[in-house]
């Protein structure tokens, strides 16, 4: 596991360096956190639920993680832009994890939420948002209403373990 954590740590540091290099040049940062969020989510969910969650890196079927308990879609952002898109074909997933990395950093998170997919897709559809986005505003409303499961702390613990490897 140590070697795997070290490789993931190197990937996180390289991605952060690229984000900052682009910002310094006045370019928009890339969403390099996607694969990293998936791997960290699998590690976090495995610990939380006591079963092995695996990343399906080749999946185009509407989910990123799978286990005997079901399927999870992982969405992440690493900028102040907190809207989550690309939810149209996600009904295959039982749950959705939304990872808010700290602004332009992949070595810390601001918030990580776990939601029921059907609930989120219905809320997005009922919000009147024509682009089908899980908007920053809707995410804040859900959070303040206590909807969803916050997993920020266990996620950050996994991330810290990786970064300290």
- CATH number of the domain where residue 58 is located: 3.40.1350
Asked whether residue 25 is domain-assigned, the answer is no
Classify burial at 70, counting beta carbons within 10 Å of its beta carbon; exposed 0-12, middle 13-18, buried 19 or more: middle
Domain encompassing residue 94: 31-158
- Is there a domain that residue 119 lies in? yes
Q: Is residue 41 part of a domain?
A: yes
3-state secondary structure of 120: helix
Residue 92 makes CB contacts below 8 A (sequence gap 6+) with 61, 62, 63, 71
What's the rounded mean pLDDT across residues 61-81? Answer: 88
Residues in the chain: 165
Residue 133 lies in a domain: yes
How many domains does the chain divide into? Answer: 1
Tell me, yes or no, whether 3 lies in a domain.
Answer: no
In a domain, 114, yes or no: yes
Task: Tell me which of 57 and 164 has the higher pLDDT.
Answer: 164
Residue 55 placed within a domain? yes
Average pLDDT over residues 52-78: 88
Provide CB contacts within 8 A for 49, sequence distance 6+: 67, 69
Ranges of H-type helices in the chain: 2-24, 33-49, 117-126, 136-144, 152-163
Model confidence at 27, pLDDT cuts 50, 70, 90, reads confident
Please answer whether residues 143 and 113 qualify as being in contact, where contact means their C-beta atoms are separated by less than 8 angstroms. yes
pTM of the model: 0.89
Which value, to the nearest 10 degrees, does the dihedral of the CA atoms of residues 72, 10, 78, 21 take? -150
Mean pLDDT along residues 36-62: 90
pLDDT of residue 73: 93
* Residue 20 covered by a domain: no
Bridge pairing between strands 109-116 and 70-77: unpaired
Question: Tell me: the pLDDT tens digits for 76-135?
Answer: 987 777 888 877 767 789 999 999 998 878 999 999 999 999 999 888 888 777 778 898
Q: Work out the mean pLDDT of the chain and round it to a whole number.
A: 88
């Amino acid at each position: 596991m140590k070697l795997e954590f070290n490789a993931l740590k190197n990937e996180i540091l390289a991605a952060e360096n690229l984000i900052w290099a682009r910002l310094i040049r006045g370019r928009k940062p890339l969403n390099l956190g996607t694969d990293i969020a998936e791997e960290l989510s699998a590690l976090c969910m495995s610990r939380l639920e006591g079963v092995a969650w695996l990343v399906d890196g080749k999946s185009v079927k509407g989910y990123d993680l799978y286990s005997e308990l079901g399927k999870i879609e992982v969405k992440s952002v690493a900028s102040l832009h907190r809207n989550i898109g690309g939810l149209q074909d996600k009904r295959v997933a039982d749950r959705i994890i939304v990872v808010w990395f700290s602004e332009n950093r992949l070595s810390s998170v601001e918030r990580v939420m776990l939601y029921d997919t059907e609930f989120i897709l219905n809320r997005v559809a009922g919000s009147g948002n024509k682009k089908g986005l899980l908007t920053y505003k809707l995410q804040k409303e859900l959070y303040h209403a206590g909807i969803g499961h916050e997993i920020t702390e266990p996620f950050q613990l996994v991330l810290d373990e990786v970064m300290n490897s």
